[in-house]
Amino acid sequence: MVIRAPRTVVGMCALCRSDAELQNSHFVPAALFKSVIQACSPYAEAPVMVDVIENSAVQINAQFSKHLLCSSCEGRFSQNGEDHVISNTVRNNGEFRLRDALKSTERSLSNNGRSIFLGGELPPELRATAYYYFFVSILWRASVTDWPGATGVKKGCLGAKYQEMFRRYLLGEFNRLPKVSVRVHVNFDTDPDIFLTVPTHAKVIFENFKVNRYSFYMPGICFVAHVGGNLPTHKLDGISAQTSCPIFIESHLKGTELRRRLAEDVARAIPKGKLARAD
Ligand SMILES: [Zn+2]
């Protein structure tokens, strides 16, 4: 057996732009894959990441990673978003702290019986802005470089202007991202599905404005961001964009058309990587 020393790569960190030893940075946090693998154990029976565009199910540990960020920027992502978001999503023992916290919190308003929470009105310990920061960091990663195999998003998918604004927001140079709203759809079902999807991007007409819409499913949560356009300030997405704080929305996947479509995608998906090799 040959044991190789870990390769050291020195280069410019894509976020802070300083020359540094670059870490093996993940597009989608490794901890998320781990939680999905654990929840789906034995994981050979369950796709870990479903790519609804390529129709494939991928069990990934090492894919979607490259030398991109320095260690302090990796730490910034962890502390400002990832650690909090991932520890509050569905665990393999069924615990789902974000859902339970929202259920015991007074809602801001309701729509067709569903609860809606404005992030700015939630108790500070729920750290609403961590969810905004987290999704912004995923989208910036999607845009700043190529991630071969991730077909839902392409390098440059934010456009040069927003990519640079996102970078400076993530660095803490400013604390607002005008014209960027984030919705956090929280699955209130008692037994939410555990899966990940590759983030996707589409240009849509929303509230009569042309905007870019980005979506990403992770266990228990679906993130949706609208970027660009002039979202009306009195509407939910306008409030999110004005405050750079997400809106949390009660959602139910069970029995919905979306759930049925996702289940079909999972069933149709062609296993790749380790899944394809598993007996
Ligand atoms: Zn850096």
What is the model's pLDDT at position 4? 56
Considering the domain boundaries, does residue 274 fall inside one?
Answer: no
Return the pLDDT at 150. Answer: 77
Q: How far is the CA of 71 from the centre of ligand 1 (A)?
A: 7
For residue 76, the CA-to-ligand 1 centroid distance in Å is 9
- The mean pLDDT of 48-74, rounded to a whole number, is 70
In this structure, is residue 277 part of a structural domain? no
Instruction: Please count the structural domains in the chain.
Output: 1
Strand segments (E) across 78-118: 109-111, 114-118
Q: Token digits for 142?
A: 């999607």
Cα(251)–Cα(216) distance, integer angstroms: 15
Encode pLDDT of 118-129 as tens digits: 999 999 999 999
Query: Left, alpha or beta for 31 (phi > 0: left; psi -120 to 50: alpha)?
Result: alpha
Range of the domain at 229: 10-268
Ligand 1 mean position to 57 CA, how many Å? 32
Give per-residue pLDDT as tens, 3-30: 555 678 999 999 999 999 999 999 988 8
Q: How far is the CA of 39 from the centre of ligand 1 (A)?
A: 32
Residue 279 lies in a domain: no
Please state, in angstroms and as integers, the Cα–Cα distance from residue 49 to each residue in 152, 198, 217, following that order.
12, 7, 10
Separation of alpha carbons 68 and 70, rounded Å: 7
Within a domain: 66: yes
Measured in angstroms, how far is the CA atom of residue 29 from the centroid of ligand 1? 17
Q: Is residue 73, in this structure, part of any structural domain at all?
A: yes
**Ligand 1 centre distance from Cα of residue 78 (Å):** 13
The β-bridge partners of 50 are 57, 197
In a domain, 47, yes or no: yes
Separation of CA 217 and ligand 1 centre (Å): 27
Kindly state the tokens that stand for 40: 């789906």
Find the 230 Cα to ligand 1 centroid distance in Å: 32
Q: How confident is the model at residue 40 (pLDDT cuts 50, 70, 90)?
A: low
Residue 276 belongs to a domain: no
- Beta strand 180-187 with 247-251: parallel, antiparallel or unpaired? parallel
What pLDDT, on the 0 to 100 scale, is given for residue 199?
Answer: 85
Answer yes or no: is 113 within a domain: yes
Each residue of 89-111: pLDDT tens digit?
988 778 899 999 999 999 999 98
> What element of type H or E holds 21?
strand 19-26
Q: Flag whether pLDDT at 44 surpasses 50.
A: no
Inter-residue contact 64 to 149 (CB < 8 Å): yes
Share the mean pLDDT of the chain: 84
Ligand 1 centroid–CA 264 distance in Å is 40
